[in-house]
Amino acid sequence: MKEKLSFKFKTIIPLFIGLILVYFSINNITPIEKINIKNSFTSADYRYIILAVSVGVFSHFIRALRWKLLINPLGYNLKLKNSIMSIFICFLANLGIPRSGEFLRASLINFYNGIPFDKTLGTIFSERVIDLIILIALIFIGLVSYPVIDFDFSTTKTFIFVFFATLIIFLLIFLFKYFLKKSRIAFINNIKIGVFSVFKSK
């Protein structure tokens, strides 16, 4: 009985709050904006919309699979469907409060799969570090291949800028890694286990 009430409480109340927010959002739209929205829907090329949505959904699936591969070495079996749903909820939450989705999806996996929050948080940090490295690499390739600004590597100033920017990034990563190794706090140690799960993935 309690479980049924708990399920209804967790399902109905968020849905009710969501409907209220949608109502207020629609209610605040002016007549001109409603006409513009209608025209946008009627004139849109839905082939591109379907393509964009498909690519977006596929990217979330890949993210969910990557997260599952990071968590598996910790000795936990993260269900792929839970991983996918938590990714969707993560991005939805980020629309309201930026970066809150990362903590939310760690909490959800803890609730539904019983995987410790701190360890999953560590794997999320690993994801962000990987994303950052890839982003820096892509920016570097883009600047070299298609320079938007005058980015001449032969000049001394540019070389110094690139050198110190790279040095600072790796220094921050090293300091964080050193802090994790020296920490004896259980919560931090569990985060460390999650962070270094990336080296155990197969």
- pLDDT, block means (10 residues), the chain with 202 residues: 58 72 77 86 89 91 88 84 88 78 85 84 82 81 67 56 67 61 55 60 57
CA of 116: how far to CAs of 17, 20, 78, in Å? 29, 33, 12
The residue type at 121: L
20 within some domain? no
Query: pTM for the full model?
Result: 0.63
170 located within any domain: yes
Q: What is the DSSP letter of 116?
A: -
Residue 23 lies in a domain: no
Closest C-alpha among 93, 91, 83 to residue 61 = 83
Residue for token pair 């049924």:
4
The answer to whether position 11 is within a domain reads no
The count of structural domains within the chain is 1
Q: Look at residue 19 and tell me if it is in a domain.
A: no
- Residue 7 included in any domain: no
Instruction: Give residue 96's domain range.
Output: 29-199
Please indicate, yes or no, if residue 142 is contained in any of the structural domains.
yes
Maximum distance among all Cα pairs of the chain, rounded to whole angstroms: 73
90: in domain? yes
